[in-house]
């Protein structure tokens, strides 16, 4: 028999005797732990699934040890911004040995719930036939969409005009660069004269 339970925001599949490494749980080594958020209990083809959890089901275990995982380096870096932060992190964990799985007392409720959707599927089938009958009408609309496509080509024809404007801006850039070079040269001359004085 195995179970799927939730602990520390994660889900784990466990059977009796398994040793799992979970997110840190408060408790000393050798103490017992119970997990009430059981999502699934099963053995072979007999599986009970909760919605979202099975009421009355628990998974019990024994804390084997408390520890820290391996060190992970953390680097935050942004180029050209004089930003570098370095650190490290070690995540705490708890190793738990599963000692038992207590299944739910209510086994008939999932079967009743499964019977109702079958009735809904039967009722939904005629609606599917109606949708199939409406599809030819949608095909008649399709030629109108084809007529709308030439308008899209007209929009594409306007795009090269925007590129011409971009070329004009690119032509202006070298003049701006020359002006910037002249400014830096004048600043250097001013520094040299200040140094002479």
Residue 104, pLDDT > 70, answer no
pLDDT at 143 over 80: no
Determine the pLDDT at residue 108. Answer: 39
In this prediction the pTM is 0.50
> Do residues 84 and 65 touch, judged by C-beta distance below 8 A?
no
Q: For residue 137, is pLDDT > 60?
A: no
What is the rounded distance in angstroms from the CA atom of residue 197 to the CA atom of residue 51? 86
Alpha-carbon separation of residue 159 from 128, 154, 156, 162, 164 (angstroms): 45, 9, 6, 5, 9
* Residue that the structure tokens 């024809």 belong to: 157
Which residues in the chain belong to E strands, given as ranges?
2-7, 10-15, 19-23, 32-35, 38-43, 46-49, 58-68, 72-78, 83-89, 92-102
**Residue 185 main-chain phi, psi, to 5 deg:** -65, -40
User: Average pLDDT of the chain?
Assistant: 78
Task: Assess whether pLDDT exceeds 60 at residue 138.
Answer: no
Start-to-end C-alpha separation, the chain: 92
- Confidence at residue 191, expressed as pLDDT on a 0 to 100 scale: 81
Calculate the alpha carbon distances from 144 to 55, 147, 150 in Å: 57, 5, 11
């Amino acid at each position: 028999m195995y179970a799927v339970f939730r602990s520390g925001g994660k889900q784990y599949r466990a059977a009796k005797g398994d040793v799992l490494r979970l997110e840190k749980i408060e408790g000393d080594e050798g103490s017992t732990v119970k997990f009430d958020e059981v999502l699934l209990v099963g053995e072979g083809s007999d599986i009970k699934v909760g919605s979202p959890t099975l009421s009355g089901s628990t998974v019990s275990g024994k804390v084997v040890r408390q520890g820290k995982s391996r060190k992970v380096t953390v680097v935050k870096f942004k180029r050209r911004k004089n930003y570098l932060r370095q650190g490290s992190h070690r995540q705490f964990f708890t190793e738990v040995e599963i000692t038992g799985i207590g299944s739910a007392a209510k086994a008939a409720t999932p079967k009743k719930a499964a019977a109702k959707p079958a009735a809904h599927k039967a009722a939904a089938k005629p609606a599917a036939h109606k949708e199939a009958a409406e599809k030819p009408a949608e095909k008649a609309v399709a030629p109108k969409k084809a007529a709308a496509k030439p308008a899209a080509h007209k929009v594409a024809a306007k795009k090269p005009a925007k590129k011409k404007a971009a070329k004009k801006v690119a032509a202006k850039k070298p003049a701006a660069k020359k002006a910037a070079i002249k400014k830096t040269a004048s600043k250097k001359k001013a520094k040299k004269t200040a140094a002479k004085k």
